[in-house]
Structure 1
Amino acid sequence: MKVALLIHAHTNPEQLARLVSRLRHPHVDIFINVDGKVNIQLFKNVIENVYFLDDRVEVVWGRFSQLQQILNSFNEIADTKVPYSHILFISGLDYPIVPMSEIVEFLYNNPNKSYIDYFKLGDDDWSNLMRKRFEYWFFLPENDIRNNHIIKKILKKVGFKRKYPFPEVYYGSCWFTLSMEAVNYLLDYTGKNPNILDFFKHTGCSDELYIQSVLLNSPLKKDMVKEIYRFFDWGDKGKSPKILTSEDFPQIEVSKAWFARKLDINIDSQLMDMLDKLNAEKQ
């Protein structure tokens, strides 16, 4: 059994090189997709024996490019025809809390399960935020009449809302571990339903809606486990989790997470040292 470990990166080549060195395992192939805005050679200069993906896009937070990059990466990995059991998806700012051998063994024992963060749309604050992201058009061309503020007011006044293209709305974090069966289903569905993908091109943060909605409205729902094994700190309630430091280590150590997110070697490299030591003790 082999696992495809996918990393999306956009900064800190040296930190990514350190991360990759901690992820190596005989049953893991590492794939890296570097943001199209960034000079990929800076990463290739310091990281060897990984697969750098070719289908890159310039990613802008909140826009469809985030989802497009994920789908591009999944397609390239699927095209290798290697029978991976899962794609484990992390960012270049994550760092392992447990040895890769522990993760590989876990996935080996759960070959059909996917580990994904998801919530069904309700009436809570997060749901209301997500609802706004798809009920009206986002990111239209400047000359599109629907961008006109008067038109927007009229649409809202008459109660116009875009109809969501799935029976039920699901959303969640874009960091997950999907079985290859789930990945192939997602790619097949995407290829056969370009009109639905077009809907998400004008949706805010579509990467936090599309994949959950495809998989949780599918026959594979029974294999979706609501757990991603990531340690986050959303203490400031911002759009992004805070940068973790060595002060966060006690909480990280007792968590059941596989990865801590997010770390920055330029802010606190000591936390990485502490996690390396913890990994060595568990090995």
Structure 2
Amino acid sequence: MVQVLPLRQQSSTGNSTDGFGCSLKQLSINQSLPGSDIDIFRKATVNTELDQVMTPASDRGFVVGVSSLGGHTRRIFHEHRATTHDFTENSIYIRDLSHAYKADLRGPFDFVLFEISPASLGKIADDAEMPGITSLSVETASKDIVLANLARALIPALEKPDEANALFVEQMTTAIGTYLVQRYGGRPMVGSDRSGSLSRAQEDLAKSLLLENLDGNVSISDVAQVCNLSRGYFIRAFRQTTGMTPYQWVLRERISRARDILRTSNTPLAEVAIACGFADQSHFTRVFAGIVGTTPGNWRRNA
């Protein structure tokens, strides 16, 4: 669960931004409400000239925005082009937060937002008897009356969170989550062929943790948990991303480290084996020969 704002309308000064890149000083409404699987926000402004929104890639999952106003426009910057989108009443957007985002905003807006982590999306899909869904299709300024009506029903709870009925909020977020995976779940992401893969942020985090613990002091379950994924999904997504299981990737990185040691020192093979996370010299020799095609001793002599 992400850390959410206090459950009341906020007023802010300064140039800081919220978790979605919006300038806090320009928001006339800034409300939040936590859910068991989905965090709910309401963001609104009456300003017509707005700051540019920029957010880096992250492993937070997806954010779904539902507009209750017309007249808002966004010019979204992609790698080699920009696209302009006009938001009408009851239009929505779905953003994959694993991709960096930059957009120029113009015109007032009033959005109800739903943030869903990868783990929560998987749980929602499982509960909806649609296992295997790991993404939502990217949408921008698409009309969705059903989702708009569901979002609108939560506005009173956002306005008076202390009086909100927790059971009602849970039932509404369950209905919203089920609707999202049924309508938008499992479609290929626009501009990406990485569906079912780790996000860039997750891949970098996983590889960094594994490299820091080549001696085996971190488990695959630990890495999966840090990436906010189940162990099974993490292994499948890692293989989809890298072409190897986490264990195969670690073995190759251990061999790479061993080759550096062999090339630059006279350290005994038994010590090289331990330094690179192998159980003993025999294990090291077997894996090294399987990957490199020759024994560590022969490779050192020829290096």
Which has more radius of gyration?
Answer: 2
Q: More relative contact order in 1 or in 2 (CA 8 Å, sep 6+)?
A: 1
* TM-score, normalised by the number of residues in structure 2: 0.29
Structure (1 or 2) with the greater strand fraction:
2
